[in-house]
Amino acid sequence: MELTTVKLVTIIAEAVLEDRLLHDLRHLGARGYTVGTVRGEGTRGIHASEWEGKSLRIETLVNAEVAEKILQHLATAYFPHFAVIAYAMDVQVVRGAKFKGGGGR
């Protein structure tokens, strides 16, 4: 069995941003995503969704180039004003082609 390495980008964000973030991900070239519900605390104070009790944990498997674009975009468009963090890591998958689509559409 051949394993390929792709990037897994995880984003923790306040719930109010869901639609925008998923739209951005698609636009930057992600071909799928998985969302879970979490809560948390960071260095910033409260965020508007806090009292509604939840944040999102979004995962997307992408190629290295798209991963870099996503992190870049989050850093400029969301980090300044929103309670958002993101991190990337290498993971092995069976069928890399599924996740390694070209950048953006």
Partner 1 sequence: MTIIELLQVNLLSPMVLAFALGIIATLVRSDLKLPDELYTTLSIYLLLAIGLKGGVALAETSLAVFWAPALATLFLGLIIPVFAYSVARKIGKMTIADAAALAAHYGSVSAVTFAAAQTFLDAVGIRYEGFMPALVAILEVPAIVIALFIAQVAGGPQGGDWREALRELITSKSILLLVGGMIIGWLTGPRGGKEVAPLFVDLFKGALTFFLLELGMVAARRFRDLPSAGLFLLGFGIIMPILNGLLGVWFGSLAGLSVGGSTILGVLAASASYIAAPAAVRIALPQANPGFYLTASLGITFPFNLAIGLPLYYTLALWIVGGQ
Ligand X SMILES: Nc1ncnc2c1ncn2[C@@H]1O[C@H](COP(=O)(O)O)[C@@H](O)[C@H]1O
- Residues of this chain that bind a copy of itself (CB under 8 A): 1, 3, 6, 8, 10, 12, 31-43, 55, 57, 61, 68, 71-72, 74-75, 79, 85-95, 98
Number of Cβ atoms within 10 Å of the Cβ of 101: 15
- Looking at the Cβ atoms of 17 and 61, the one nearer to ligand X is 61
Rounded to whole angstroms, the Cα distance separating 16 from 83 reads: 10
Q: Which residues in the 38-57 window bind partner 1 by CB under 8 A?
A: 45-54
Contact present, 62 and 29 (Cβ < 8 Å): yes
- Looking at the Cβ atoms of 1 and 97, the one nearer to ligand X is 97
- 105 has which bridge partners? none
